[in-house]
Amino acid sequence: MERFIQLVFDGIATGSIYSLVALAIVLIYRSTGLKNLAQGEMAMFSAFVAWQFHAWGLGIWLAAVLAIIASFIGGMALQRVIIRPVQDKSLLTVVIVTLGLFLAFNSLAGGIWGYIIKAFPPLFPSNVISMGAVRVPVANIGVFMVLVVLAGGLAMMFKFTKIGLAMRAVAYNMETSKLVGIRVNNVLMLGWGLACALGAAAGIFVAPKLFLDPFMMFGVLIYAIAAAAFGGLDSPFGAVLAGLIIGVVENLAGSYIGFIGSDLKILVPLFLIVVTLLFRPQGLLGHKYVVRV
């Protein structure tokens, strides 16, 4: 039983990581109608920026806040300079551009900071809570709390603010949004900025656990994409829920289902993607769109 509880807690901890990155993917999709394959690498890059600020002598929380602000600005610049010229092109074109960003950020981080892993200073106390034989690091709880706050904030923004409404409108139909007076380009820029800021937070909060290097988010992105697809690309809570489910299910399957073991763990999220596509393409909590023909 203790083993089971330990695995569930560990699953929630890794699930929180997937969810954080999935949230950023959802945010960009919800606000611009795109999905950004470079999300994980941008988060990694932002974490490096925070690490650099800290290495220059700033406190880690201040460094984190500065990096998040820098990422917000950087995200808007990226949208303006790289994404805007191709945003009217086909889905494939944009996917390829974000793939290019993926490679660019990976190499850039390697070129600037090297490939040797770095310890990222912890943002939460490093002690561990013991409940019998079950051990839960405080940092895991901290990351989970951050996740809940961010997901809640995001959902509220989309639901209750004007800018959230504008983002939804733009993502839904760019032409019509223009006609009703929404400054589409500004909204898109803002969407990228926010997604990058959120990604930065994700990178910064998971870096102490994963250790910082240019490949830190490589595996995470796969799970985050799975979480976004499984939970519903346009639903923040869906992404969070799905990320947590994937984390827990993957751990339990790896431990209790003999033939899966740790070898085939990665098939768990891929299996979930396929099942989602087959039976509920809009995802667990996603909205169903009806297209008139």
Partner 1 sequence: MKRTTPRRITAALAGFALVLAACGGDDDSDATPDPEPPADEPADEPADEPADEPADEPADPPATDYEWDGSYPDPGVDDEVIKLGTSGPMSGPASAYGVITSGFNVCADYINGEYGGIAMADGVVRELEYEVYDDGYDPANTVENVRRLNEQDGVFFMTGVLGTPPNTAIIDYVEDEEFPNLFVSTGASRWGRDFQSGEYQWTMGWQPAYTTESAVYVEYLEENHPGSTVAILMQNDDYGRDYVDGFKLSLEGTSIEVIAEQTYEVTDPTVDQQVTELANSGADVFYNVTTPRFAAQAITRVGQLDWDPIHLLNNVSASVGGVLVPAGIEASTGILSTQWFKDPTDPNWDDDPAMIEYRRVMAEYGGGQDPDDPFTMFMWTQCELIKQLLPQTYPTREHLMQNVANLGALNIEIDVLLPGINVSTEPGDGYPLEAMQIVQFNGEFFETIGEPIIFDGQTADMVN
Map the footprint of partner 1 across residues 89-108, applying CB under 8 A. Answer: 91, 95, 99
Please, which residue, 13 or 189, has the CB nearer to partner 1? Answer: 13
- Taking the complex as a whole, the smallest distance from the CB of residue 250 to partner 1 amounts, in Å, to 8
* Residues numbered 180-209 forming contacts with partner 1, rule: CB under 8 A: 209
Please, which residue, 126 or 186, has the CB nearer to partner 1? Answer: 126
Query: Does residue 211 touch partner 1 according to CB under 8 A?
Result: yes
Please, which residue, 76 or 227, has the CB nearer to partner 1? Answer: 227
- Taking the complex as a whole, the smallest distance from the CB of residue 69 to partner 1 amounts, in Å, to 26
Please, which residue, 77 or 280, has the CB nearer to partner 1? Answer: 280
Query: Does residue 13 touch partner 1 according to CB under 8 A?
Result: yes
HEC profile for the chain? CHHHHHHHHHHHHHHHHHHHHHHHHHHHHHHHCCCCCCHHHHHHHHHHHHHHHHHCCCCHHHHHHHHHHHHHHHHHHHHHHHHHHHCCCCHHHHHHHHHHHHHHHHHHHHHHHCCCCECCCCCCCCCEEEECCEEEEHHHHHHHHHHHHHHHHHHHHHHHCHHHHHHHHHHHCHHHHHHCCCCHHHHHHHHHHHHHHHHHHHHHHHHHHHCECCCCCHHHHHHHHHHHHHHCCCCHHHHHHHHHHHHHHHHHHHHHCCCCCCCCCCHHHHHHHHHHHHHCCCCCCCCCCCCCC
Query: Does residue 130 touch partner 1 according to CB under 8 A?
Result: yes
Residue of 254, 268, 284, 285 interacting with partner 1 (CB under 8 A): 254
Distances 56 to 63, 158, 290 between C-alpha atoms, Å: 9, 37, 52
Query: Does residue 32 touch partner 1 according to CB under 8 A?
Result: no
Report the alpha-carbon distance of residue 163 to residue 165 in Å, rounded: 5
Residue of 83, 97, 273, 285 interacting with partner 1 (CB under 8 A): 273
Judged by CB under 8 A, which stretch of 61-69, 149-157, 193-201, 276-284 contacts partner 1?
276-284
Q: What is the longest distance spanned by two Cα atoms in the chain?
A: 62
Place of tokens 């602000």: 69
Residue of 74, 137, 193, 243 interacting with partner 1 (CB under 8 A): 137
- Give me 75's structure tokens: 């995200």
Query: Does residue 222 touch partner 1 according to CB under 8 A?
Result: yes
Residue of 62, 128, 145, 156 interacting with partner 1 (CB under 8 A): 128
Residue of 12, 37, 190, 268 interacting with partner 1 (CB under 8 A): 37
Please, which residue, 7 or 189, has the CB nearer to partner 1? Answer: 7
- Taking the complex as a whole, the smallest distance from the CB of residue 10 to partner 1 amounts, in Å, to 5
Report the alpha-carbon distance of residue 196 to residue 108 in Å, rounded: 17
Query: Does residue 277 touch partner 1 according to CB under 8 A?
Result: yes
* Residues numbered 232-251 forming contacts with partner 1, rule: CB under 8 A: 232-234, 250-251
Query: Does residue 276 touch partner 1 according to CB under 8 A?
Result: yes
